[in-house]
Structure 1
């Protein structure tokens, strides 16, 4: 078996998703950042745990109406501060048929971040093969307009030096175990030696669980890499409002 050297890169993309709930909300000031996300493959649904910031009540109403119009279900919604601008915790269930997240995963990309602002979606994906990123951009263009897409190399050797945290300290035990198992079994080889379904069978875990742990662990590693390369991280909610 040929082992290929891994050259990870970050695909940073801004996108108007014309068939999703975000596209019709470009005339309002709002911000929505995804804290956690997962794909339920058997049900064909995607889930987002997110924080929404709106400056006016009518904007919140328009966002909820747009979600419903596109058959997305708000499972939970909770305001965390009085008055406006308001921060709202949300859990949203959507359909994989129009999911950028699902399309990226099906092409071997790993989500690093996702946030939406005034009708424009901002995505970051880790890829080990530039051709996968090119294919993804081509495919996602069928569902909307890609405003900008940049592929930036991630230099892991320079970012993780002798003074850096060991992975055992950076990750929790489940993240570390699944990431190392997937790595050793060839999940990150190009081409892959094993897929998510096969990992699921060998580890006796669901595909969504494996996907969640891989994205979580790689997201933590990516934050270290990006911070060391002085890349501005995605904005975070104002904790003093909670």
Structure 2
């Protein structure tokens, strides 16, 4: 097994959230779903990127939700928007650049969390994260609780050696070649051991890549595998 060692005991958090300071809270009366399929966190420049598919059931709802997104202080820019079908309900691919200061995923990122699920609908955000330990998971819940209302949540231990066994057999199919290569090297160097045998800075130097690039590949790989695992459990 190449991703987690036998000592790796993680925590999985899944919760529904009313984010009182974000744009999502203003959409409670708009019938829609906003399904995030990829993200990027740039801690050095304080922004996050969301790659998502927005689904709406009418032109009026589309206009309203785009007005909310474009005007909200947490959104720095709409970097891309592309309809995926004609008529309604309409699916729209959208890329948002958001402020890291009020970002739920940014708070998880700085505590070592890996995002598994992010779906927003009718004013409620549905989240799922993996954290490296109980302390960081509870610290995260405390932080997000200061910016909104946690409607319900579950927090459970996740022994990666057990839940990842089947998913790892398909890792090469789930991951891009770069994700597979870099994550496998990271494992061989002890990056996933507790405590880590190599720091992200040193790993990046060995690979000849930037720290942000290596972090993005590893997080992307782990997220894909965890999404696969928890989707199968649902």
Q: Give me the TM-score of the superposition, normalised by structure 2.
A: 0.85
DSSP 3-state at the match of 2:112: coil
Structure 2 residue runs of 5 or longer lacking an equivalent are none
DSSP 3-state at the match of 1:123: strand
CA distance in 2, matches of 1:164, 1:196: 23
**Residue 182 (structure 2) aligns with:** 178
| Compared CA separation, residues 163 and 120, structure 1 to 2 (3 A) | closer
Q: Quick check: 1:30 aligned with 2:10?
A: no
**Residue 99 (structure 2) aligns with:** 95
| Compared CA separation, residues 86 and 129, structure 1 to 2 (3 A) | same
Native 8 Å contact 1:54 1:85 kept in 2: yes
Native 8 Å contact 1:54 1:86 kept in 2: yes
Structure 1 vs Structure 2 CA RMSD: 2.5
| Compared CA separation, residues 190 and 145, structure 1 to 2 (3 A) | farther
Native 8 Å contact 2:117 2:227 kept in 1: no
| Compared CA separation, residues 169 and 77, structure 1 to 2 (3 A) | closer
Native 8 Å contact 2:16 2:127 kept in 1: yes
Question: Mean Cα displacement is larger for which, 202-211 or 49-58?
Answer: 202-211
**Residue 226 (structure 2) aligns with:** 222
Q: Give me the TM-score of the superposition, normalised by structure 1.
A: 0.83
**Residue 110 (structure 1) aligns with:** 114
Structure 1 residue runs of 5 or longer lacking an equivalent are 233-242
Deviation for aligned residue 1:166: 5.6
Q: 1:202-221 CA distances to partner (integer Å, 9 max, x unpaired)?
A: 43323332232122211232
CA distance in 1, matches of 2:9, 2:142: 21
Q: 1:3-48 CA distances to partner (integer Å, 9 max, x unpaired)?
A: 9811133211211111111111111111000111101233321111
CA distance in 1, matches of 2:221, 2:197: 20
| Compared CA separation, residues 201 and 159, structure 1 to 2 (3 A) | same
User: How many equivalent residue pairs?
Assistant: 228
**Residue 65 (structure 1) aligns with:** 67
